[in-house]
Structure 1
């Protein structure tokens, strides 16, 4: 499991973000919530995504997939907007065949929201930013009910 570096959108300081934590990442300098964006594969997905303390937005993607490349910046933006409330977990299907099979991923991008190890929402294919935002909001609000 690797950590990643992310620049705080509030103060600009670079922070190391762990793939797994009991809470959610905050800037070491200004304590602002940080976007939590990590990669996962067959070996660490359960720990990174299914045991996440916040809802996990899963992006099944591939480097060669044009629609995936179009959706990726939108997902990054959603992770920034919902910093502290979600964890964006990117799964490269070419490097995670077990997960692709386990979740019956037949098209990419495939997006899922997982809360407490349970898939609460799923969407296949690329969608425009407003549609993705609405889908995510609905998925998150359904987990609060």
Structure 2
């Protein structure tokens, strides 16, 4: 028997346990009954960031961005498109570096957009600069195997 996979709900942040094999079956949250995967990136603050990084068993891709950043705005549609391609294998988060300056400092974000890929609560890869959806998905898949 395989270990259950923990998935944090993008709506209520409850941690759900399920078999890995059920991730493709459009699972819903046991607490709020909303879909666990929406095909869209999730905007998070510092507290929600900690919950999703620390409790999701699937890899988590984070886009560190800011409203005033032209390349960030240019990459936003590609990031949203990548979410539809990568879920349910990867959760995609967006962190506004202006609102979550503690995270910007903690992860030494020096340029934006910066993508950071986390697995098991640890950062495993980082890429600065805007990418299109195809390159972004390929970069993620390269690092998660």
TM-score range, shorter chain: 0.7 to 0.9
Taking structure 1 as reference, are residues 32 and 105 closer, same or farther at Cα in structure 2, changes over 3 Å only? closer
Describe the SS at the equivalent of 1:98. helix
* Unaligned runs of at least 5 residues, structure 2: 1-8, 18-22, 29-34
- Counterpart of 1:87 in structure 2 is 91
Which residue of structure 1 lines up, in the alignment, with residue 46 of structure 2? 42
1 CA distance for matches of 2:57 and 2:12? 13
Cα separation, 1, equivalents of 2:130 and 2:112: 8
- How far 1:20 sits from its partner (Å)? 4.5
Q: Which runs of 4+ in 1 moved over 4 A?
A: none
Shift in Å, 1:39:
1.7
Listed as ranges, the gaps of 5+ residues in structure 1 are 5-16
Deviation of residue 32 (structure 1)?
9.8
Using the alignment, how far apart are the partners of 2:53 and 2:93 within structure 1?
Answer: 7
Counterparts in 2 of 1:94 and 1:140: CA distance versus 1, 3 Å: same
The answer on whether the counterparts of 2:114 and 2:127 sit within 8 Å (CA) in structure 1 is yes
The two structures, once aligned, show a CA RMSD in angstroms of 2.7
Number of matched residues?
126
Partner of 1:35, secondary structure, is: coil
SS at match of 1:85: coil
Residue in 2 that maps onto 1:14 = none
Residue in 2 that maps onto 1:21: 15
Which residue of structure 1 aligns with residue 100 of structure 2?
96
- Using the alignment, how far apart are the partners of 2:92 and 2:14 within structure 1? 12
Moved more, 99-108 or 123-132: 123-132
Aligned to 2:141: 137
Instruction: Return the TM-score normalized by structure 1.
Output: 0.74
